[in-house]
Structure 1
Amino acid sequence: MEVQVLAINPGSTSTKIAWYRGDEEAWRVTLSHCVEEIAAFPCVVEQFPFRLRVIEQAVVEEGGDLDALQAVVGRGGIVDPIPGGTYAVDELLLSHLRRGKPWEHASNLGGILAAAIAFPRKIPAYIVDPVAVDELDAVARITGLPELPKHSLGHALNIKATVRRAAKDLGRDWRKMNVVVAHLGGGISICTHKAGRMVDLNNANEFGPFSPERSGGVPAGDLVRLCFSGNHTMQDLRKKIAGAGGVVGYLGTSDLREVRRRIAEGDGKARLVYETMAYQVAKDIGAYAVPLEGEVEAILLTGGVAHDGEFVRLVTEQVQWIAPVLVYPGEDEMRALVEGALRVLRGEEPCLRYGEMVAAS
């Protein structure tokens, strides 16, 4: 009998769920939540009962039976820094997912919801490669201001899954591969993945290329002056950096299809912004190749923007001298979550314990 696993991926205004029988997806749905409904909750963790009811109702509507599951896996959120892998949800991990520090994130609900479904049925609940995965080398943490070290916050789930897929395609052991991964989405994470570890990467909200919605690295002195100009609140500026920066800041849209349409109509500004984003991505790929000391086996382009063939072409032309470029468009987070759970259930890798890995890191 095939193992049945439910995957849960909470977003700011939606909850995605998917039911798998072994490696095959049976169904998936995206449960949209109206902004007003979500805004009525004072904090993210208090959305839990509401989202659980919606999930349970959707499973019934899809003809599923929660009692038939062998495991539940949720998106991992912002907890204390830990290495990548599949983690059993236990009381310590739950308490850290609930606390919402250093800030709240909808993905923290993934493990909480998984546990709520799994524990009464005496089956395991997992999270996989959470946002807080930290495998940085010591030299990657220092920024130039002792008060402001670099924190490892990136698209770890998709980065790790993409490395595994590339390794399978190349007939290699992913734990021995040296690659640079560029996750190209609303935010952009570029990562040096060396022998199974994410040894350096940009925090997409604070460093690196600008993206469709985020400013990337900006001039520090000018940013300080902007902060103290008296014209902006902290909330205004945080929004400019993550949400209203990058392409949307210059062009009023984060939709690259719209940008491409404007370019086709002769919009020179749209072309400059589009090409500059590709240039910045390529430049950072070059920078993140440095820790591999010339032994770069491949450059992997993934995320939603990797569906844009012209953008991929612009980046590839600028970096293919470093290593072959492989493209894995999109980010199938649901499959990546289930694959992580299945590897543990099948004994292909150990189930990690949050408390042990925090203490060891």
Structure 2
Amino acid sequence: MTTTEEDAAAAPGASRVLVLNSGSSSVKYQLLDMRDHSRLASGLVERIGEETSRLVHTPPAGGGGQVRERLGRFPDHEAALRAAAEELAADGLGLDSPELAAIGHRVVHGGLRFTEPTVITDEVLKEIERLVPVAPLHNPANITGIRTAQALRPDLPQVAVFDTAFHTTMPEYAARYAIDVETADAHRIRRYGFHGTSHAYVSRKTAELLGRAPKDVNVIVLHLGNGASASAVAGGRCVETSMGLTPLEGLVMGTRSGDIDPAVTFHLKRVAGMSADEIDVLLNKKSGLVGLCGDNDMREIRRRIDEGDARAALAFDIYVHRLKKYIGAYSAVLGRVDAVVFTAGVGENSSPVREAAIGGLEELGLVVDADLNAVRSGEPRLISPDYARVAVAVVPTDEELEIANQTFALVDN
């Protein structure tokens, strides 16, 4: 049974949302109380389908419970989610609780149809399946998570929150590739963008940090994790983003090349005899920082640079050079920039990356204060001096909270 839109309202008084992020061999989950946005519990099941799987569960803070770990074999996502449900039940937070209002699912690709959070019906699920060809690594895992959750709680509203939705406001001239229109339309080839929940959350939080309404602020968001993307957000609406048809386009990433001459693929096929699948693996899993220097952990790269490693230094310089190009390009797109903001693992924690990316951009009004940049904090903060024309900020992302907020807003009626 699939939840219908007519039955999508949360039970009266229910205030909890379970957020599920289902990957090809993993499931991340968080249970949040939407009355105060507190995290009641969270966990990760990884290596699903392998001989030895692992579940790590973090119980409610302040309850005196310890992080619990289970090793065993979870053959599929249903077994993994049932194990996660058992851990939640052990904390008195079972999925049968009347306080559970909905389950929110991260779905990577929503195409052009899904521009906002959507209650999952049979037709919605079919459309997500139709988008598998443009998201072959992500949407199948998301679908598996949805179906498993539906089996566990068929009576509960299930909501899809799409990575691509925030970017559907891009104007057509930014979203279109300059290829034959009929071919592009027939095969859904256009720029969709990803990390949308993070860009939405961070751009809004940056406006709050500046003490202004999102509609009055133009922001460049740099989401720098193992996957990395940039966005230009004008008045709360995305007008440009770095990822395209897939998450491969754009910035240099941990294992992805980012922008590359498309003729490289033809060259590798003709000259190196590589198949399409081999080139796909090369560009998505063996490129980026790991391809340049063998490491995709920025902390290790910085350690190697401090020891005089030339390959690590070159990888860092290439990474930063691409960031500067996008900051400059998006400054031109926006016309007026109120803030450049760093987020995600590298963006939040690597002061050398932030310093190097902003360094030399004084003519654009961008300056970083060395002392402020060196501060380690989990709170949103400015790292630019008071006199800077454009604010530079660090804003920790919270994609799970964004998914929970969007889910609860849809069903709390």
TM-score grouping bracket, smaller chain normalisation: 0.7 to 0.9
Q: State whether structure 2 residue 158 is matched by structure 1 residue 125.
A: yes
Letter in 1 for 2:154: F
Q: For residue 56 of structure 1, what is the aligned residue in structure 2?
A: 85
Given candidates 300, 303, 309, the residue that maps to 1:261 is 303
Structure 2 CA distance for partners of 1:142 and 1:103, relative to 1, 3 Å: closer
The Cα shift of 1:261 comes to: 1.2
Q: For residue 350 of structure 1, what is the aligned residue in structure 2?
A: none
Letter in 2 for 1:237: I
Query: CA offsets per residue over residues 79-104 of structure 1, 9 Å max, x none?
Result: 33246432222222122234533333
Partner Cα separation in structure 1 for residue 197 and residue 360 of structure 2: 26
Q: State whether structure 2 residue 309 is matched by structure 1 residue 272.
A: no
Partner Cα separation in structure 1 for residue 145 and residue 359 of structure 2: 39
Partner Cα separation in structure 2 for residue 341 and residue 267 of structure 1: 47
Count of residues paired in the alignment: 337
Q: For residue 192 of structure 2, what is the aligned residue in structure 1?
A: 152
Residues 178 and 297 of structure 1 are in contact (CA less than 8 Å); yes or no, is this contact kept in structure 2?
Answer: yes
The Cα shift of 1:116 comes to: 4.0
SS at the partner of 2:359? helix
Q: State whether structure 2 residue 348 is matched by structure 1 residue 336.
A: no
Q: State whether structure 2 residue 250 is matched by structure 1 residue 213.
A: no
Structure 2 CA distance for partners of 1:50 and 1:176, relative to 1, 3 Å: farther
Given candidates 325, 336, 342, the residue that maps to 2:392 is 325
Partner Cα separation in structure 2 for residue 151 and residue 174 of structure 1: 24
Identify the range of structure 1 (189-198 vs 141-150) with the bigger mean alpha-carbon deviation.
Answer: 141-150
Partner Cα separation in structure 2 for residue 237 and residue 117 of structure 1: 39
SS at the partner of 1:151? coil
Partner Cα separation in structure 1 for residue 80 and residue 27 of structure 2: 8
- Unaligned segments of structure 1, at least 5 residues: 40-45, 348-361
- Unaligned segments of structure 2, at least 5 residues: 1-12, 54-74, 366-389
Q: State whether structure 2 residue 56 is matched by structure 1 residue 15.
A: no
Q: How does 1:59-208 map to 2 (within 5 A)?
A: 59-68=88-97, 69-82=100-113, 84-99=115-130, 100-104=132-136, 105=138, 106-120=141-155, 123-131=156-164, 133=166, 134-146=168-180, 147=183, 149-203=189-243, 205-208=247-250
Q: For residue 31 of structure 1, what is the aligned residue in structure 2?
A: 45
Q: For residue 332 of structure 2, what is the aligned residue in structure 1?
A: 290
The Cα shift of 1:230 comes to: 4.3
TM-score of the aligned structures, taking structure 1 as reference length: 0.84
The Cα shift of 1:4 comes to: 1.4
The Cα shift of 1:284 comes to: 0.9
The Cα shift of 1:233 comes to: 1.7
SS at the partner of 2:395? strand
Residues 159 and 407 of structure 2 are in contact (CA less than 8 Å); yes or no, is this contact kept in structure 1?
Answer: yes
Superposition misfits of 4+ residues, deviation over 6 angstroms: none
SS at the partner of 2:271? coil
Structure 2 CA distance for partners of 1:238 and 1:299, relative to 1, 3 Å: same
Partner Cα separation in structure 2 for residue 151 and residue 314 of structure 1: 28
Q: For residue 358 of structure 1, what is the aligned residue in structure 2?
A: none
Residues 214 and 235 of structure 2 are in contact (CA less than 8 Å); yes or no, is this contact kept in structure 1?
Answer: yes
The Cα shift of 1:111 comes to: 4.1
Structure 2 CA distance for partners of 1:57 and 1:276, relative to 1, 3 Å: same
Residues 77 and 132 of structure 1 are in contact (CA less than 8 Å); yes or no, is this contact kept in structure 2?
Answer: no
Given candidates 271, 277, 300, the residue that maps to 1:229 is 271
Query: CA offsets per residue over residues 311-345 of structure 1, 9 Å max, x none?
Result: 1111122446343211124x432222112223335
Between the two proteins, what is the percent identity of the paired residues?
25
The Cα shift of 1:216 comes to: 0.9
Q: For residue 352 of structure 1, what is the aligned residue in structure 2?
A: none
Structure 2 CA distance for partners of 1:324 and 1:220, relative to 1, 3 Å: same
Residues 77 and 110 of structure 1 are in contact (CA less than 8 Å); yes or no, is this contact kept in structure 2?
Answer: no
Letter in 2 for 1:33: R
Letter in 1 for 2:209: D
The Cα shift of 1:159 comes to: 0.8
Query: CA offsets per residue over residues 191-238 of structure 1, 9 Å max, x none?
Result: 111223222112263432212211011133343211222431211111
